[in-house]
Structure 1
């Protein structure tokens, strides 16, 4: 059992790690807002049903009240005609209707209380949604700034100012070397590049006389 528990823990942590990497804050914020809007729609639908039940109950109370008035008039009319049995029957129905009316009113009070609770919940959800929308605007702005900063950091890490500076220095040295080659190649004092190969007769005679003098001395 210990091994299986460890495997489950490792697997769960791995999945959670992947989820943390794939979660986009902005996407998740939009998802949370959609969920909140869905809850708000559910609350609004519940309020609509509650108000319908409330109106229906109020109509039932009005109808029962009307029936009570009818039975009261029927009982009075039966007594005027001397029909005591009909009067008792009307009074009995009147009493039953009054009992039902009392129950209907209690039910209406309970429905109204539920309506108030739902309306309060709806207002609370609506305020929360508005706050989340405002917070989302701020968080999206912060997320964009953070992403841009991270991209800049990644660029700095990838290339690095030091490597760029070394590259520029290397190119500068190469240019200096090329410039030196140009200067050496164009110097008229370079004997390798001299185009004047003419030797004067006087210089030849001087060298010849030197050689002759050295020979006579020997």
Structure 2
């Protein structure tokens, strides 16, 4: 994959409208996670491309340095050969002097070739260095953009979860409003009130029954006492008869009425 296609892909991701993509996604978190993975893969590919470009630059720089060193070496050899030629010439050995001069010329030619090669490599090195600098800057921007994307993903996921929680609470409240539990409470309260009223009625009924029983007992005791007194009067016979005979009927009833009034009071 070429460097242009890699950065074109990264640029497309950087310009993507995240909110629009989330609207189409059924699961925002999964969509954002996939975006982060895609961006991470793009960064990995970009790092590979940058590393390869840097490697190529280093190779050119190594060749340039080797040409410089080669040129220096041939220059030293040319100087040494020239000095030997001068030495032989001073001794009158022209043949040897010419021989070393020729060697010096060969060395100088080799030096010029190395210098020419180094000189031709300089524009390439400069161009490659500019590309590497741009790629490094772009890679740093990609990493920064990825960090922003991760932060944005975390923020949107948190907001999505919060919205989901609010929707759940809203649905719960809505269902409570529909069910209207107060009506159920009122129904149970009414049932308890009816039960309490029934118990009070039973208590009152039981109390009324006891009162009637006690009143019956009192009436029975009174009748028993009356019967006992009547029997006692009959048994008294003659002893009480003169007093009764001596009293008139009106006096007797008046006496009984008086006793009844006293008993009531």
Is the shorter-chain TM-score for this pair beyond 0.5, marking a shared fold?
A: yes
Highest CA radius of gyration, 1 or 2?
2
* SS of alignment partner, residue 187 of structure 1: helix
| Secondary structure of residue in 2 paired with 1:82 | coil
Per the alignment, residue 110 of structure 1 pairs with: 120
Q: What are the residue-to-residue correspondences of 1:71-110 with 2, within 5 Å? A: 71-110=81-120
Higher mean C-alpha displacement, 85-94 vs 59-68: 85-94
Query: What is the TM-score of this pair, normalised by structure 2?
Result: 0.57
Query: What's the offset of the Cα at 1:162?
Result: 4.5
Over residues 18-53 of structure 1, what are the superposed CA-to-partner deviations in whole Å (9 max), with x where a residue is unaligned? xx9696122222222222333333233333333322
1:114 CA drift (Å)? 2.3
Normalising by structure 1, report the TM-score: 0.68
Give the number of the structure with larger relative contact order, counting CA–CA contacts within 8 Å between residues 6 or more apart.
1
Q: CA RMSD in A?
A: 3.2
User: How many Å separate the matches in 1 of 2:183 and 2:104?
Assistant: 114
1:187 to 192, 197, 209: 197
Structure 1 residue 68: Cα displacement = 0.8
| 1:138-181 superposed Cα distances (whole Å, 9 cap, x missing partner) | 22111122223333445566x47245322355233222221221
Cα distance in 2 for residues equivalent to 1:193 and 1:44? 103
Pairing of 1:30-49 with structure 2 (within 5 A): 30-49=40-59
Question: Paired residue for 2:144?
Answer: 134
1:64-112 C-alpha deviation (Å, 9 max, x unpaired): 0011101211222222222222222222222222222211111111223
* Alignment-derived partner of residue 161 in structure 1: 170
Q: 1:195 to 1:107 in 2, by over 3 A?
A: farther
Alignment-derived partner of residue 250 in structure 2? none
5+ long unaligned stretches in structure 1:
1-16, 202-218
SS at match of 2:49: helix
Structure 2 residue aligned with 1:145: 155
Residue 113 (structure 1) shift: 2.6
